[in-house]
Chains A and B, each alone.
Chain A
Amino acid sequence: MSNQAAALPLRKDWEGGVSPFGVSYGKLFMWFFLVSDALTFSSLLCAYGFMRHKYTGQWAHPNEVFHHFPFIHKELPLAYVGFMTFDLIMSSVTMVLAVEAGHRKNQRQVLMWLFFTIIGGLIFVGSQCWEWFNFITGQGATAVYRDYIMNGHHIINPHFVGANLVVNSYTVLPTFGDFFFCITGFHGFHVFSGVIINIVMFIMVANGVMKKRGHYEMIEKAGLYWHFVDLVWVFVFTFFYLL
């Protein structure tokens, strides 16, 4: 470091010719993209907070909506979402271990950890499909509100169980279902594209592209995206399922 500084006595950080942030172009713009994406998610969650406060007392209790667990016919509130969170944190750890293996240029370990990350991501996407299925068909509905308000009219529908964008049987508010579909759907789409990116990375590493290039920076960029997906889920988990 001191040698470099001695070779360039006149160049300061912001005078050109140096990277003031100390990262490459691709990684810097991955960070900027993630900030903009984080703002999108934050806006959605803030809108959710607005509605949540506007309809204080009318909102559905997550404990009563999400209490199903596969193969167990008992009420286990939040257990499955807890598992999903664990799965995503776990896959985040395997991703960062892949990045670390890339720093040591150990191709075999990078492939192994990337493989585990892809599996974790697929488990999460599958879990979310299952969660949506139960939400839409109303398998887990205990507190059933079968009347709803549409275009200002109070309508009673005794046959409706489940949820769609107009009405749901968990609460009188259609907003509850709308936000559930919008936020978890948008997040699930991010997880899905993250899995695709990881699969592309896996194929590239397996074909020796990174070895030829001499470094594994692409893994780090894909890792940034994957950790961001985990980060968003931490917030969605808190605001949607716990509060």
Chain B
Amino acid sequence: MSDFFEEYPGYPNYEQMATHDEAHGKTTRKKLWMVFWIMLIVTLFELFIGFKYSEELGELNKEYLFIFLTVAKAFFIVFVFMHLGDEKKALKYVIIAPYTLFIFYLAFMAITEGVYSYHIKDIIATVIGHQ
């Protein structure tokens, strides 16, 4: 294995790269627990909103709030727990960019078509009913 790394010095050597000492580990652990508390509070807040304010808040506002909080949680999971924040810029873009582009497109299509189908359903029923 050592011959391999001598021949290809640019190849990532995990043994040297991802090892850290006790002091560094302490700060990392602190950060991880911090993120855990943030995610727990966000989840409890979501449940509280779902419990209490399902009527008062208005359906559309509630949807936007939930989606925003969910994406925030997803950001924490991907960038802190999965360590994507510590990776190279190239890898970050390769993982995030194509996925985000495709999903915005797909979600937009699905929701638009869904709303359209909702309206066309009654029209079709009316047309068939009149025959």
Contacts and interface: CB of A to CB of B under 8 A. Distances in A.
B8 A17 contact: yes
B90 interface: yes
A239 B70 CA distance: 9
A100 B80 CA distance: 12
Contact of B113 (A17, A50, A97): A50
Given A18-B10, A42-B103, A82-B47, A50 B32 contact: no
A152 to B, nearest CB: 11
Contacts of A100: 25, 28-29, 32
A227 interface: yes
A93 B36 contact: yes
B43 A104 contact: no
Interface stretch (A4-12, A183-191, A198-206): A4-12
A85 B90 CA distance: 32
A97 B8 contact: no
Given A82-B47, A238-B70, A24 B118 contact: no
A138 B106 CA distance: 34
Interface string B13-30: 011001111100100110
Interface string B65-102: 01101100110011011110001101100110011001
What 3 A-B pairs are tightest by C-beta distance, nearest first?
A18-B10, A53-B114, A46-B110
Given A22-B87, A39-B99, A49-B110, 16 more contacts: A17-B10, A22-B88, A35-B99, A46-B103, A79-B47, A93-B33, A93-B36, A96-B81, A214-B15, A220-B18, A220-B83, A223-B82, A234-B74, A238-B46, A238-B66, A238-B67
Interface of B: 8-12, 14-15, 18-22, 25, 28-29, 32-33, 36, 39-40, 43-44, 46-47, 50-51, 54, 62-63, 66-67, 69-70, 73-74, 77-78, 80-83, 87-88, 90-91, 94-95, 98-99, 102-103, 106-107, 109-111, 113-115, 117-118, 121
Interface of A: 4, 7-8, 11, 13, 17-24, 28, 31, 35, 38-39, 42-43, 46-47, 49-56, 63, 77-79, 82, 85-86, 89-90, 92-93, 95-97, 99-101, 103-105, 214-215, 217, 220, 223-224, 227-228, 230-231, 234-235, 238, 241-243
